[in-house]
Amino acid sequence: MSAALVIAVKDLRQKLRDRSVLLMAVLAPLGLAFLFSTMIPNQETFHTTYAVVDLDGGEIAKGLVDGPLAGLATAGVADLTPLTTEADARAAVDAGDVSAAIVIPAGFTEAVRTGAPAQLLVIGGPSSLSAEVARSVLAGFGSQVTAVQVAVGTALAAAGEAPDPALAGELAAAALAAPAPIVLTAGETADRTASSKTYYGASMAVLFVFFAAQFGVLSLLAERRNGTLARMLAAPIAPATILLGKVLVSMVVASISMTVIVLATTFLMGADWGDPLAVAALVLAVALAASGIATLIVGFARTEEQAGSFIAVVALTLAVFGGSFFPMSQAPEGMAALSLVTPHAWFIRGINDLAAGGGIAVVAPSLAVLVAIGMVTGGIGLLRARQVVTP
């Protein structure tokens, strides 16, 4: 073990002096994670701002503002900014201070009372999602008004009373101001999807961890070419010690790469990875899996160039099928099933599981699969790599 550490320390010293390691293991994944998370907005949350202009001031207008619109604010979907004129509202939308404006014109309540056509105004671009949401909310309120009016009219008719618009209006206003008899509440399961910042941080980290892991075992072939492997073999150490040293370097570089990305995305980009202990376990497990696969490839390659090319192809293919470039929830069913043979999918799944809270127990399935991938591929790879060390 001591000689393996000597070899590992020597290799790490060399890697520290090699800027390509820093680029591939840290800078590239960090840059891409930042790029992806910036370009692709977080799809799990919607939030907007509305200007509200109540030019009516009547009871039903107040019911609209205090009811459905206040509900949006309470749900965290929208911030409401009260303004006094329609011109102010248009100016605020044009200036981008708010995403859309809702204007309740003067006489709105009276129009509802008398059964006259009543209008509400939404100011916003035709393709504005915020304006569309506002229109939906107001349409819902309009349907409620119509339903109440119909119900009141029907009740009066059934009582045999002569149509009295004033009475019908008062009854309708009272009905609208009363609490709704049926209230829908949203029941949500715990959110098991990491934020886009966390997702892209994780997906880029697991993509590039393969390039980071290659630096250890790949140097075995470089040492053979340079003649330093023969010199190490001439020393009083077991050949397996050399292999162990190389795999250690792969593990360490891969783990450092992942750790730097986790920390950087947390503190610089606001990613939330979840329970630190569970994340650390996932990082070590995926570093083991990547080191195992890199060892397997090196075991079958003849030259370091060939091995480097194979690792790049395998890393990118696994990344595509494993969900590093798009969430597997958006992938066809067959591809989602196929992704389960990739370490990428299991790592991302583990990170998603942590988004709902919990610790190591939550990610135990991912840990088990990642460790198994690392042990199986690494075991076969080491058997093959013995032939590199002892021809």
Partner 1 sequence: MTLTTRKPAGEPPAAREQEASGQPVLVCRDLRKRYGERTAVDGVGFEIAAGETYGLLGPNGAGKTTSISMICGLLRRDGGEVIVAGRPVDIGATDAKAAIGYVPQDLAIYPDLTARENLRFFGRLQRLRGKELDRRVDEVLAVIDLADRAGDRTDGFSGGMKRRLNIGIGLLHHPRLLVLDEPTVGVDPQSRNAILSSVAELEKEGMAILYTTHYMEEAERLCDRIGIIDEGKIRAEGTRRELIALVGQKDRVELAAGGATGPATAALQALEGVEEATASDGRIELVVMEARHMLPRILETAAAAGAVIRSVEVVEPDLEAVFLHLTGKALRD
Residues near partner 1 (CB under 8 A): 3, 6-7, 10, 13-14, 17-18, 226-228, 230-239, 390-391
Nearer to partner 1, 237 or 360 (CB): 237
Contact 34, 203 (CB under 8 A): no
Nearer to partner 1, 139 or 230 (CB): 230
Could you give the 3-state DSSP secondary structure of residue 54? Answer: strand
Nearer to partner 1, 11 or 56 (CB): 11
Q: Least distance from C-beta 17 to partner 1, angstroms? A: 5
C-alpha radius of gyration, the chain, whole number: 32
Q: Least distance from C-beta 243 to partner 1, angstroms? A: 13
Nearer to partner 1, 7 or 251 (CB): 7
Q: Least distance from C-beta 255 to partner 1, angstroms? A: 23
Q: How far apart are CA 47 and CA 51, in angstroms?
A: 14
Q: Least distance from C-beta 230 to partner 1, angstroms? A: 5
Residue whose token pair is 């790029």: 35
Element (H or E) spanning 134, and its range? helix 129-158
Q: Is the dihedral of CA 54, 59, 64, 69 positive or negative?
A: positive
Q: Least distance from C-beta 77 to partner 1, angstroms? A: 57
Q: Sheet harboring 121-123: ordered strands across?
A: 78-83, 48-54, 100-104, 121-123
Q: How far apart are CA 311 and CA 243, in angstroms?
A: 18
Q: Is the dihedral of CA 365, 367, 373, 379 positive or negative?
A: negative
Q: Least distance from C-beta 386 to partner 1, angstroms? A: 10
- Please spell the DSSP secondary structure of 225-257, one letter per residue: HHTHHHHHHHSSS-HHHHHHHHHHHHHHHHHHH
- Cβ neighbours for 332, distance < 8 A, ≥ 6 positions apart: none
Q: Least distance from C-beta 130 to partner 1, angstroms? A: 57
Nearer to partner 1, 17 or 159 (CB): 17
Nearer to partner 1, 309 or 390 (CB): 390
Give the burial class of 321: count Cβ atoms within 10 A of its Cβ; 0-12 exposed, 13-18 middle, 19 or more buried. Answer: buried
78, 80, 84: which is closest to 57 by C-alpha?
Answer: 84
Q: Least distance from C-beta 25 to partner 1, angstroms? A: 17
Nearer to partner 1, 43 or 390 (CB): 390
Nearer to partner 1, 2 or 329 (CB): 2
Here the tokens at position 321 are: 């099928």
b/e string for 129-151 if b means 16 or more Cβ within 10 A?
A: ebbebbbebbeebeebbeebbee
Q: Residue 50 CB: number of other CB atoms within 10 A?
A: 29
Q: Least distance from C-beta 232 to partner 1, angstroms? A: 6
Q: 3: which strand partners?
A: none
Nearer to partner 1, 3 or 77 (CB): 3
Single-letter amino acid code for the residue at 43: Q
Longest Cα separation, the chain: 112
